[in-house]
Each structure stands twice: as C-alpha cells, then as structure tokens.
Amino acid sequence: MGTRPEIVKLAGVARRLGPQARIVWTGQHWDAGLTTCFFDQYGLPRPDHLLKGVGGEARGRQIGRMVATLSDHFTERPPAAVVVQGDTNTAAAGALGAHCAGIPVVHVEAGLRSFDNEMPEETNRRLIAPVADLHCAPTPTAAAHLLREGVEAGRVLVTGNTVVEATLETLPTESDARGVLARYRVARDAYVLATVHRPENTDDPARLAQLLDQLAALDLPVLMPLHPRTRSAVDRFGLRHSIVRLRQIPPLDHATFLALARHCRLLVSDSGGVQEECTVLKRPLIVVRNSTERPEAVRAGFARLAQPGHQLARALREMLDDATLAGRLAQVPSPYGDGSASADIVAAIRARYLGREQAFGPQLPAPGQAADRDRAVTARHP
C-alpha cells in the first residue's frame, strides 16, 4: 500500500488474512491527513515495513526507487505472494518489485482500461497485467479486457470490487450523518460535494480556473475538500479569487466523506474511487475527466463524463434539474458487486498460495460498528 485508496480497498483483505498479512507501506501519499488516520479507522496494524524518500518525488524517480527497495525487501523476506491494488505508482512498483524477486503477484481491481495513454494510471495498469499471476477483476467488463489481452482464463477471477464492503462498513449511521451535516452547515440534498486532484485538472491553469468558476457559479453551496495537489496548484496559478467562493474544507476521513456524499444533491469529482462509491451510496456523479476506466458506473446511470466548459455546464444543469434522478438511482444495483469481494479474494489467495491447512486462519475484526456487517459478509463465504 502507499495511498489512501489502497488502504480503503485492501483493508478487508488484510483483516481477513489476519497475521498472515504483512503490510508494506511505500509512502507515496505522505500527508498524514490522507493516510495514517485510515489505518486506525479500518482497524489495521501499523505497517510492518516502510519505505522512505518516496513521497513527493517525480513519477519516474518514485517508481524506480520503489522497485529497487521493494525487490530487495521481497528477496530478503520472501512472502508467499504480493498483493497490489489498482493502478497507482505503488501498485506498479510493487508488482515489478515482486516479479524481480520471483514472487507471485495478485492484482486486486485488475483489468480496468480507459484506453487513454495520456493517463499515468493506464500505463501502470498495463505494466501490472503481464507480471500478475492472479487477476481479481471487479466486473465482467474488466475480465473481458484481460482475456482479450491474452491473459489465461484460469488466472482471472471476477470478484466484485472491495470498495463495496469498505463503503458499507464505513458509512455512518443516520444519526451520525446528521451531526456531520450540521458541522459543515449544509442541509440534506441541498449542496454539492466536489473533489479535484488529478493532474489533467490541476496541471492546466485554464482548465482548473474554468472548473472552479463553474462550481462557484452554482446556486447551491459547494463543499470542496482541498487535496494538497489542488491547493498547491491554486497558489501556483493565482486562482485564490476562484476558489474563495467555494467552501474549502480540509481532507476528510473516509466516514465523514461518505456521510457528506450520501446526502449531497450531486457529486462532482475526478476520483476513480468516487465513481464506485456513488453506486453504493445511490448518488449522481459528474466525472470531470477526459476518459474513464469505470464505464460500468456510466452505463448504470450513476455517473456522467464531462470536461470543464460546455460539457460540464450542461451536465450540471441537467443533473441538478432532474427531480426524479435520485429516486431512479435508489433502485439500481451497484455494478461492482454485493460486498463479498474481499472474502472471495482471500479465499483465492489461501487456496492458491497458502495451502489448505492454513485456509481458516484468524482474522482481525472490523472496527467499531462495522464488525457485525463484516462478519456477516464473511459468513457467506466460509
């Protein structure tokens, strides 16, 4: 792991593996507000091994340093398998480092494709695929991509996405959610929640300014948890006059973000994870990007792709004016599964790499009120 989404999406896998899991932290995300609080929230132990000097480096140097350090670590302390998640620099480096050390790679959330080579994550995903031994695809669409690329069918397992159980486990109660809304001075269904952090938005001053101006022009209040990259871009490009009209708030822990997302009128984001979470929360989302590797959310009606400018203006107008949208989405099942992905992935890991005699090792309980729901999911997959 090395980023906030990886903590969220691998927590269920790590807890079910219990003491059989060794957590290696690369430090790709180095801001404590984006990372370390999530270990506590998900009931995970502190990492067994930490890399240093990775956070803030340019992509090439970051990946190179991680591959070298991880391959040495896996050689010195070889695990039965290395589990990587998604498409981050950490995931690519973890897979390559394991491959160099002769360790099997399990890729969680395998097979996503945007077919947009300008997206760094697309390169990372395609780097992992040839070296992965087991591909845990979240949807049949993702599995089909892998099969078309020549991956053997026996190495592809459709599991659903671990974000479903992570969202269900972490979502606050209605009583707690009311407290969150009161703290941020917003009313249910009467605000927009926006997150922006991807380079295609933050590295282009004209695009970022247009995006912020379009959000600021809305009649509803717009809450924006400010990512460090976005904050830096606003300062660098002199866009304080644009962002000052939005309600800027610090980065949020996952539970608080989910409470706000669950009760907003509309989500606007360039995040990959939010495209999945919105299908569990049943909230509409505008994806402010050039392309997406998660077409399932778009096809199901939860998400709409729009670039800043005319596309975004039209999407904002049409989705905010659609009085029946929320009601329709409430009836649509998530295309990312039923919340059993982590259990299925761990069952496959144990069967393939740990042997039958270890198939029922102890697991760490989910934190707080999530424990009962976590056990219920596990009970369906003994």
| Residue numbers annotated as active site | 197
172: tokens are: 């606050």
Closest CA to 316 of 205, 219, 245: 219
**CA-to-CA distance for 284 and 335, rounded, in angstroms?**
14
Please count the other Cβ atoms lying within 10 Å of the Cβ belonging to residue 67.
Answer: 20
**CA-to-CA distance for 241 and 245, rounded, in angstroms?**
7
| Burial of 97 per CB tally in 10 Å (0-12, 13-18, 19+) | buried
Q: First CA to last CA across the chain, in angstroms?
A: 26
Q: Helix, strand, or coil here: 82? A: strand
Closest CA to 203 of 165, 242, 229, 164: 229
Which residue has 């904050």 as its token pair? 231
135 within 8 A of 146, measured Cβ to Cβ:
yes
**CA-to-CA distance for 105 and 123, rounded, in angstroms?**
17
**CA-to-CA distance for 22 and 82, rounded, in angstroms?**
9
Which residue has 């009467």 as its token pair? 190
Please count the other Cβ atoms lying within 10 Å of the Cβ belonging to residue 289.
Answer: 21
